[in-house]
Amino acid sequence: MSDVRFLTREIGSLGKPSWRAKTFVGRPLEATDVAEAERWGKKLEVEGHEELLEGLRTGSLSRAQVDDWAAIYAIRLLEKVGLDVVYDGEQRRTEMYDHVAAFAQGFELRGTVRSFDNKYYAKAAVVETPSVGGPQDVEELEFVRAHTDRVVKVPLTGAYTMEDWSYDEHYAHEGALGASAERRYEARRRFVADVARNVILPNVEGLVAAGAEWIQIDEPAATTKPDEVPLVVEGFNEATRGVSAKKSMHICFSDYSALWPHVLELDDCLELQLEFANRDSREPGTRTEDRPGYADTLKLFKEHGYPNVGLGVLDIHSDFVEPPELVRDRILYAVDVLGDPERIQVNPDCGLRTRSWDVVYEKLAHMVQGARLAEHELNRAHAAPAQA
Amino acid sequence: MELKAYAPGIYPRSDALVRATRDLDRGRVEQDAVDDQLERDLREFVAAQERAGLALLSDGMLGWQDLFRPLAERADGLVARPLTRFLDTNTFYRALLVDGKPRLADPVPAPELPAGRWLATLPSPLALARATGGGASPLALAASVLAPQIEAYAAAGCSLVVLADPFVAREGGVGELLSSLGELPQRTPLALQLPFGDAKPVLRELAEAPVQAVGVDFYATSLDSVPEDYPKEIMAGVIDSRSSALESPAEISAFVARLSQRSPAGLSLSTNGDLQFVSEGIAREKIARLGRFQTELRVVA
């Protein structure tokens, strides 16, 4: 048996630096914004960052140039903390839903809806069969590949989440009043299939042709309607049909018990990257009672044997910085339940966009350290001579 | 047949109010700025309902962050805390932690609407109990939180209290719901609305509920789920609060005609749940259409 080595990676989004955010909404930069760019430029050893500072001070940079710098900073952050697999923290994207809805034909924005308290999100309606004129994210990928030697994983919003988060003015509108559940379900199935085939698949094909090694389909809405998990699976399979790259799916803040057995029908899905830490204790320990956030879902992975697990070990909704020992114990517990370290890789629960870069840096660095500690434990146990 | 129309539940905030609350959170404005905009939003919403000719006016619960929060904030023994997904939407409410015996200490003030011409929306006792995750019983919450709130609304001239229960159609619990409804004062008529759920599994049992009307979401419930000669008024959710599409008069007219043929004890029109699931501009147009349907369909119904 070769030494255990866990692959560490992020899930997708990072927060946007203030100098990037303000540039895009047209607000003037302050000295503190430039100071932040300088501090992180030095900390991450971003080559040529003085050019960014000068551009920010003089206002001479275009939005595209600011986007490039934000992407470089994010890539360097992920490299610096030691991740094996990186991307650009989705610095060029507004938000996972809007990024796709604004690009594809067939969607029209319909204002904002409350998420919670005083927080709102933009929501679009599908008004005709969705389509795209070509792949959306190839230039983004090419930029990332040109600026890192690490393995690259491209996060893409899934077809089911696009369907679930949109209004429907096309598929189910006429005759929806008083209609049967079967009719409503069928309308949603057609919507998902069209987004997968006409919007996501062309992007996936373009990305793979441009050298993408790994496509991650994000489906945070996967179990919102538990009886529609089969549509999530159909959307994944249709959106990745025939492509020769690693494929995985990310789901979070959901009822995972609804996923099986349907996810057994996912075609060639390397793993499900799930959120666990959010529902777990913050105390170390490797017993089942120490790990309430992991026990039930890992049993499902064990029982069904497919797919593998992307183990969320960082709570992305908290500034609490998980100690490496806590990360280690979460991993060791997962290994103990699954009985096979090769079925496990390590990541945060979800994208870290709601945390400051200082917190993100510490959290990710500890995640990598925790993975190394877990590997050490496992490899030491394996290497120890058998007791007589 | 008389046909009334209502718009219970939480109405969406205007873009200006969304901006004001966001600015308050970021420390850019004071509470006064939000209160002023809230007042403007309320006036505009009431005017929209008046123009539409709705039978009763709602205040749109514009200051309510979710269906449970103001009650929790004014009750002893309830604390609003963990973010929890509201049904299968992308909107979240704060579930309630029970920290002692729940008791409404200070009722939510009644809106300043003309006495005898307004409706209020509250969670049903079962919905409020579900928001506590089982930490308090529907019976106890009906008696110690909802009953005094309903009394306060009644004293201020409320003409109808709509009890929203988004959970019972999905998760069951009709028995508990029926018992707890019996704890509520009846001096103001009550309606039980089942937002965003297929009412089929519970409609027969709810025929026994001590309420004047049962609100059914007909975008989640098929027409043939309504038993013939239903002994309660059906408050028909014909305006889809989760859809940006505007309802077609022809479709609503045909639907109401078919529903009337099932001969419920009464029929009124409403939204199928909180209009806050669409933006304010869309909601305003839906209110206008609801009023038009009320007027045009009197003959059909």
Residues A282 and A195 in one domain: yes
CA-wise closest residue to A257 among A281, A223, A288: A223
Domain region containing A49 = 17-81
Q: At A338, list the tokens.
A: 């699954």
Domain boundary among A81, A105, A137: A81
Model pLDDT, residue B299: 62
Are B164 and B8 in contact, with CB atoms under 8 Å apart? yes
Residues A283 and A371 in one domain: yes
Residues A249 and A109 in one domain: yes
> A interface toward B at CB cutoff 8 Å?
110-118, 120-121, 123, 125, 164-165, 167-169, 173-181, 221, 224-225, 253
Residues A38 and A128 in one domain: no
Q: Is residue A105 part of a domain?
A: yes
Q: At A273, list the tokens.
A: 């990257």
- Residue B16, chain A, CB below 8 Å: the answer is no
Q: At B21, list the tokens.
A: 């609350």
Are A162 and A100 in contact, with CB atoms under 8 Å apart? yes
Cα separation of B249 and B239, whole Å? 11
Are B241 and B207 in contact, with CB atoms under 8 Å apart? no
Q: Is residue A8 part of a domain?
A: no
What residues contact A345, with CB distance under 8 A and at least 6 apart?
A6, A7, A8, A9, A271, A308, A309, A310, A311
The per-residue pLDDT string of chain A (388 residues; one tens digit each, 9 = 90 and over) reads: 579 999 999 999 999 999 999 999 898 999 999 999 999 999 999 999 999 999 999 999 999 999 999 999 999 999 999 999 999 999 999 999 999 999 999 999 999 999 989 989 899 999 999 999 999 999 999 999 999 999 999 999 999 999 999 999 999 866 678 777 888 899 999 999 999 999 999 999 999 999 999 999 999 999 988 999 999 999 999 999 999 999 999 999 888 999 999 999 999 999 999 999 988 999 999 999 999 999 999 999 999 999 999 999 999 988 999 999 999 999 999 999 999 999 999 999 999 998 999 999 999 999 999 999 999 999 998 787 655 3
Model pLDDT, residue B83: 78
Cα separation of A31 and A35, whole Å? 6
Upper half-sphere CA count for residue B127 (Cβ side, 13 Å): 26
- The reply to whether residue B282 touches residue A110, judged by beta carbons under 8 angstroms, is yes
Residues A49 and A91 in one domain: no
Q: Is residue A121 part of a domain?
A: yes
| A45-54: burial string, b at 16+ Cβ within 10 Å, e else | ebeebeebbe
The domain ranges of chain B are: 4-14+53-296
H/E segment holding residue B192? strand B190-194
The per-residue pLDDT string of chain B (301 residues; one tens digit each, 9 = 90 and over) reads: 578 999 999 999 999 999 999 899 888 899 999 999 999 999 999 999 999 999 999 999 999 999 999 999 999 999 987 778 899 888 999 999 999 999 999 999 999 999 999 999 999 999 999 999 999 999 999 999 999 999 999 999 999 999 999 999 999 999 999 999 999 999 999 999 999 999 999 999 999 999 999 999 999 999 999 999 999 999 999 999 999 999 988 889 999 999 999 889 999 999 999 999 999 999 999 999 999 988 887 765 5
Model pLDDT, residue A294: 97
pLDDT tens-digit readout, A43-84: 999 999 999 999 999 999 999 999 999 999 999 999 999 999
Residues A133 and A47 in one domain: no
Residues A248 and A210 in one domain: yes
- The reply to whether residue A167 touches residue B245, judged by beta carbons under 8 angstroms, is yes
Residues A129 and A90 in one domain: yes
Which residue out of A97, A177, A252 would a mutagenesis test of the B interface target, given it has the greatest number of B Cβ atoms within 10 Å? A177
Cα separation of A235 and A271, whole Å? 16
Distances (CA, A) of B172 to B50, B118, B130: 37, 30, 11
Which chain B residue has its CA at the smallest distance from A222's CA?
A: B88
pTM of the model: 0.86
What is the 3-state composition of chain A as percent helix, strand, coil, each rounded to the nearest 5? 45, 15, 35
CA angle centred on B231, ends B227 and B235, rounded to 5°:
80
**Model ipTM over 0.85:** yes
**Å between B244 CA and nearest CA of chain A:** 6
**Å between A341 CA and nearest CA of chain B:** 33
**Å between B14 CA and nearest CA of chain A:** 10
CA-wise closest residue to B185 among B165, B210, B166: B210
Tell me if residue A381 falls in helix, strand or coil: helix
CA angle centred on B208, ends B204 and B214, rounded to 5°:
70
Q: Is residue A274 part of a domain?
A: yes
Residues A254 and A197 in one domain: yes
CATH 3.20.20.210 fits B4-14+53-296, yes or no: yes
- How many domains does chain A fold into? 2
Q: Is residue A92 part of a domain?
A: yes
Cα separation of B222 and A289, whole Å? 45
Q: What is the CATH number of the domain that holds A315?
A: 3.20.20.210
Cα separation of A265 and A230, whole Å? 9
Domain boundary among A34, A61, A81: A81
**Residue B279 is nearest to which of A113, A116, A221, comparing CB atoms?**
A113
Cα separation of A228 and A185, whole Å? 8
Residues A99 and A148 in one domain: yes
Domain boundary among A27, A57, A81: A81
Terminal Cα distance for chain B, rounded: 6
Burial (CB count within 10 angstroms: exposed 0-12, middle 13-18, buried 19+), residue B296: middle
Residues A109 and A256 in one domain: yes
